[in-house]
Structure 1
Amino acid sequence: MFVDHRPNFTFIFVYSFIIANIFLIIYLYFKTPQLDNLYEIYKEEINRIYGNEQFISMNLNNSNGNCGSIGDMKKMWRTASMYMIGKLLNRTVYYESIYKCFTEYKQEFEITFKNGGQLIKLMNPKQKYIKKISFGIDSCDFDSPYRLEGENAQIIQVTGSEFKSFKYFDDSREEIHKMFEFNEDIKLAADEAAEGIFRNYTPEYRLCLHTHRHEYIEAGQASTLEFIEGSIKFVMKRLQSTNSKNIAIIFFGSDKNFLYEIEPEDGHNIYIPSINNNSVYLYFGIKYCDSLIITAPCSGFAWWMGYLMPKNKNGNIFYNNCNGYCKCNKQFVQNYFMPNWVPLHKNKTDGVSIY
């Protein structure tokens, strides 16, 4: 039987063509800038537009385009943390003007804070100019900014968007307090509210209790009535042991019906401020509270009320530890709550004690 030993040129050609294309694809992959690295080939153009200034921003896409409000405090967390990250890296923080809410964000800060207008820089650089970096994805965790120090791209954007950890600005307390110094009209409105509330009686000491219900009930982060009353009892004993006298109690929260159900021990005046403006409400608590009980531990409003209280009062802040089961508590308690704040939990005898 005759066997044809001549080479199959068609097979050789096809095989060689495939191999050559594979090598060509590999070569082009490593030689051609990828979409995520376009900023590399636009260095001169970026420098011509922005000079030598370096920038950093965050990615609002991960928050579904939601900037947050003074009420939910995403803005406060983001602004404080990003400011200090930018300062550490010697980069100017900017927010993308393509999101309408950032313009509203800037306007709200201008109305609320003395330096509010300077805190928000709006820009809209082309996406090809930006290097995107995975950073700060877990909202209540702490991601060290030092790992961004080696980035040499002129404009970088981190993937996180909330940065709910005091560790981003742990050593800059006075600077953050100055950053969020309220405008005079906010202060005046809070002082006028205080005059009305305390017109017939001026307590020597004010214990404040903040509640947050609604969506926190379903999430298991809203304290029960029993826990709240137990917390008041526990903190009262602690305060009285330090010779605090003439203690009044101030309740904060949007669910007024729930606030009226709270029955602390007799002998203390109870106040429920009726203030509709969130900024005035926040400043009122910061100025007029001597101690604070945070009953919904993941409430940003209560957290910032406590953090912005004067330094001499900041050790008098208590929070519901949820026995370790709160979203921002169980895993990241060391990053979220200030170390000198006091964690409370329900003990085996259904009372409240320090965790």
Structure 2
Amino acid sequence: MTDCTTVGSKTSKCKMTGSGTSVAKWTTIQAIPSFLPIFNNITLPIIPLINEQPKKPTVPELPKKYLSTNLASNARLGNHLFEMASFYAISKKLERIPTFFIDTEWHDTMLQDTDFLIPGLIDHFLIVNDTVRTCIHIRRTDFVGTGFHVPEKDFILSAMKFVEEKENNLLNMNYTTVFFTDDAGYVKTLLSEKFELKDGTVKNLETSSVISDTDSTDSILYSSRHCDTVLVTAPHSTFGWWLGYLSKGNQVYYTDLKFVNDLSFPAENFNPDDYYPPHWTPVRYGGPGNATVIESLK
């Protein structure tokens, strides 16, 4: 509490007291004018000021973006150090996660050499080991309602299962799925899905796949360097066709136009070899009421 005695408009000193004990602190205040006698000789409480800390601005979480490159893994140590250091710096500049794919024993050596001479550098990389990259193309936005075939979710998932089981029988490796699409919102709903392979392995798309957010040019470049297998779900998509044709593995699966309700192309007049390379594999449902995807016989 503060006891103040004022006379007229002069300035006086006030003493702070509390619970019968004097507080050794004095403050000078401007006295209240004498024409307001009702306020003279009263005790006024001191209200402490609240020192509020300014709120820190909320920083939005950046989306996960990745950067990879076709490393010269069979080169020698000097090249390795230049590549890895510059690769990391470029990724930082672009706010992307540097991703290192181990495809051969040379990549293992490259990582070991770099870690020995620059400890901690490879800790900033996403290391993908013994992995086959399956690229899935899904086109929807301008195809819906136009007569072009747009595959439903069940077909996409069943086709992915078919492709992975067939390829895994040949390579027996881990698979990472990369989605290329014009409808990322739709594809995000697929990431909550799981399916079981013949060997009992459960494929969890949320942990084993990514959605590419690159533009068309970068998507084609990525496919040419990294896509071992491509699944084209919208068979009329010319972009999907080129994504498969220019892919690294040129191992392409596509929805068979002869077995879908596509109003823009009469099935009886369609020869798939006029449009698709003969070594590509067409896929379709197993039959009416059969949700299993199988290979079409040409």
- TM-score after normalising by structure 2: 0.49
- TM-score after normalising by structure 1: 0.42
Choose 1 or 2 for highest CA Rg.
2
Larger % of strand: which? Answer: 2
